[in-house]
């Protein structure tokens, strides 16, 4: 197990198109997070899964964003009708056990909306 992996690493899409990103957490990590990071900013929390249950969504997450984690393993983040403001690095992180344990980040998917 080499850590949290995300696919694709880069995505360029035209405004209005839908995109889907995948995150494979570290095996047996029950907690999975999606964050968004723009240049010069810290990671911004989007949503959280405990096993397959999506337990929290940020107010920042508009209706165009949806995330799933079927069977509590990998997760997908879909953005519908992309806008230029969606351009950012989308980071996935996972952790095991309680919330106050180390969260391991993936390399991220860089989205560019043109």
Partner 1 sequence: GENVEQHPSTLSVQEGDSAVIKCTYSDSASNYFPWYKQELGKRPQLIIDIRSNVGEKKDQRIAVTLNKTAKHFSLHITETQPEDSAVYFCAATNQAGTALIFGKGTTLSVSS
List of residues contacting partner 1 (CB under 8 A): 4, 33, 35, 40-45, 48, 50, 55-56, 59, 91, 99-100, 102-108
State which residue, 48 or 82, has the beta carbon closest to partner 1.
48
User: At its nearest, how many Å lie between partner 1 and the CB of residue 24?
Assistant: 14
User: From the CB of 49, what's the least distance to partner 1, in Å?
Assistant: 10
In the bound state with partner 1, the residue whose beta carbon lies nearer, of 3 and 16, is 3
Least distance between partner 1 and beta carbon 59 (Å) = 8
- Closest distance to partner 1 from the beta carbon of 33 (Å): 6
CB under 8 Å, gap of 24 or more: what pairs does 44-53 form? 46/77, 47/77, 49/75
Contact status, residue 89 vs residue 36, Cβ threshold 8 Å = yes
Per residue, the 3-state secondary structure of 30-87, as one string, reads: CEEEEEEECCCCCCEEEEEEECCEEEEECCCCCCCEEEECHHHCCEEEEECCCCHHHC
């Amino acid at each position: 197990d080499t850590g949290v992996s995300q696919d694709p690493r880069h995505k360029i899409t035209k405004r209005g198109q839908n995109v889907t990103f995948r995150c494979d957490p570290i095996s047996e990590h029950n907690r999975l997070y999606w964050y968004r990071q723009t240049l010069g900013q810290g990671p911004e929390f989007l949503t959280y899964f405990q096993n397959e249950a999506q337990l929290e969504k940020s107010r920042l997450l508009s209706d165009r964003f949806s995330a799933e984690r079927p069977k509590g393993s990998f997760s997908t983040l879909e953005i519908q009708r992309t806008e230029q403001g969606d351009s950012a690095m989308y980071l996935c992180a996972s952790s095991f056990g309680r919330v106050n344990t180390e969260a391991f980040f993936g390399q991220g998917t860089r989205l560019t909306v043109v």
